[in-house]
């Protein structure tokens, strides 16, 4: 039996009895819940995290040059005029982009790649060796653009795209042998490889996306349900880079949750860093709207968020979702909670990412959304994204 890591027991893996009603709030003590659920994590500044996550990269790729054709004549004792025997040159190597699920950023992609050159053709009709291929690993969900047009979309692990073809090898003088020309001296050089300038754009691939305005508590929530370490602080600021956290269940299923940086009004018009944030939401299968319950009229936040998503891409706001009312530990939030439920038709889960209160209900519903997504993909004959 192969070794498997010990399961991380989460409360989300405990099924509820049939017909039972989920409690509105956790029945556990808030202090005990925080000590059990939340862990102290090393604080990393957002400026330092910027070096680790890169979602744009301009790459110049050049295929390997083909080897030149050989030029020689066969000659040995008692067979002086053996004829031409120059072999063809080898083809140049390609530059290939390959999607790898272990890669999470474009930071390791270099600005220039070139395939290996083919070898020159030899005597005795020996062909030159082909140049080796150069494989460039990119994250799953990478878009490849050339002159503003999408030429490839690498959405599956192991998917490949030939970014630059290697040049064909040259012909040796043996190739030009004919009845009219019994001793050809003509041979051709190898062709140069294809040269292109590509723009790589990463759209984070995750099952769920945390969508909300700045300081709604998305980063704190992701730290509470996963081992991700987005920067948090006691003062207002917004995350600058998307983070993906993995929620582990007892049956070894893993649900990827992406912390999409805070949006602002007019994000679809590229205000702030709108376009840089919105493109990461396209890959999410279902959405988790994080609303700050402590502000007045929190349902207005939800309306503005759905409007920005719909203006960016039609139908994006209609994906399966749940509304997370954060900061329920504050007195004003408990007053606004019933008002929010009256204004919207979506399911509302009130919780506190700071204390861990009612975290179990979120994890249970997150697994329900994931199971629905898996069944839908399988009914269509497609394989769901696995982490």
pLDDT tens by residue, 115-129: 999 999 988 889 999
pLDDT score of 249 more than 80: yes
The domain spans of the chain are: 53-203, 208-380
- Cα gap 177→87, rounded to integer Å: 12
Check residue 223 and give its pLDDT. Answer: 84
**Residue matched to tokens 């439920």:** 341
Give the burial string for 140-173 (b: 16+ CB within 10 Å, else e): bbbbbeeeeeeebbbeeeebebebbbbbbbbbbb
112 and 73 Cβ atoms separated by less than 8 Å: no
Q: Of the candidates 38, 4, 17, which has an alpha carbon nearest to the alpha carbon of residue 364? A: 17
Helix H, strand E, coil C: the string for 51-95 is CCCCCEEEEEEECCCCCCCCCCECCECCECCCCECCCCCCCCCCE
- Output 105 or 374, whichever has higher pLDDT: 374
64 and 166 Cβ atoms separated by less than 8 Å: yes
13 and 249 Cβ atoms separated by less than 8 Å: yes
Looking at the domain that runs over 53-203, which CATH code has it been given?
2.70.210.12
Query: What does the pLDDT look like over 290-346, one tens digit per residue?
Result: 888 888 888 888 888 888 888 877 888 888 888 988 888 888 888 888 888 888 888
Check residue 332 and give its pLDDT. Answer: 86
379: alpha, beta or left, given left = phi > 0 and alpha = psi -120 to 50?
alpha
What 3-state DSSP class applies to 381? Answer: coil
Query: What does the pLDDT look like over 133-184, one tens digit per residue?
Result: 999 999 888 889 999 899 998 988 889 999 999 999 999 988 988 888 888 8
Looking only at the bridges linking them, the beta strands covering 195-202 and 142-146 are: antiparallel
Check residue 196 and give its pLDDT. Answer: 95
310 exposure class (CB count in 10 Å sphere: 0-12, 13-18, 19+): middle
- Cα gap 91→315, rounded to integer Å: 47
pLDDT score of 7 more than 60: no
Check residue 113 and give its pLDDT. Answer: 95
Q: Which CATH superfamily is domain 208-380 in?
A: P-loop containing nucleotide triphosphate hydrolases (3.40.50.300)
Q: Kindly indicate the confidence band of residue 275, based on its pLDDT and cuts at 50, 70 and 90.
A: low
């Amino acid at each position: 039996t192969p070794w498997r890591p010990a399961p991380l027991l989460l409360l989300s893996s405990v099924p509820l009895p049939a017909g039972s009603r989920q409690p509105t709030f956790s029945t556990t003590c808030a202090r005990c819940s925080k000590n059990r659920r939340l862990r102290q994590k090393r604080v990393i500044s957002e400026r330092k995290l910027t070096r680790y996550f890169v979602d744009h990269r301009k790459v110049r790729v050049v295929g390997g040059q083909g080897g030149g054709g050989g030029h020689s004549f066969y000659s040995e004792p008692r067979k002086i005029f053996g004829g031409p025997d120059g072999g063809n040159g080898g083809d140049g190597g390609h530059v290939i982009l390959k999607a790898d699920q272990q890669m999470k950023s474009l930071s390791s992609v270099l600005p220039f790649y070139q395939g290996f050159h083919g070898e020159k053709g030899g005597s005795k009709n020996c062909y030159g060796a082909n140049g080796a291929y150069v494989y460039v690993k990119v994250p799953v969900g990478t878009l490849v653009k050339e002159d503003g047009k999408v030429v490839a979309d690498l959405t599956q692990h192991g998917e490949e795209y030939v970014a630059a073809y290697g040049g064909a090898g040259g012909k040796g003088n043996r190739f030009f042998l004919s009845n009219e020309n019994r001793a050809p001296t003509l041979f051709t050089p190898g062709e140069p490889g294809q040269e292109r300038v590509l723009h790589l754009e990463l759209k984070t691939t995750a099952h769920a996306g945390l969508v909300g305005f700045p300081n709604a508590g998305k980063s704190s929530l992701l730290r509470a349900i996963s081992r991700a370490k987005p920067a948090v602080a006691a003062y207002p600021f917004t995350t600058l880079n998307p983070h993906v956290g993995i929620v582990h269940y007892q049956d070894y299923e893993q649900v990827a949750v992406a912390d999409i940086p805070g949006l602002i009004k007019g994000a679809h018009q590229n205000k702030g860093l709108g376009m840089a944030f919105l493109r990461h939401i396209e890959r999410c299968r279902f959405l988790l709207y994080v609303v700050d319950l402590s502000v007045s009229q929190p349902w207005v936040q939800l309306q503005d968020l759905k409007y920005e998503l719909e203006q960016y891409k039609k139908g994006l706001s209609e994906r399966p979702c749940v509304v997370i009312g954060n900061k329920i530990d504050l007195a004003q939030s408990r007053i606004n909670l019933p008002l929010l439920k009256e204004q919207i038709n979506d399911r509302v889960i009130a919780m506190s990412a700071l204390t861990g209160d009612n975290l179990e209900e979120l994890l249970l519903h997150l697994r329900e959304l994931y199971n629905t997504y898996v069944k839908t993909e399988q009914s269509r004959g497609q394989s769901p994204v696995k982490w």
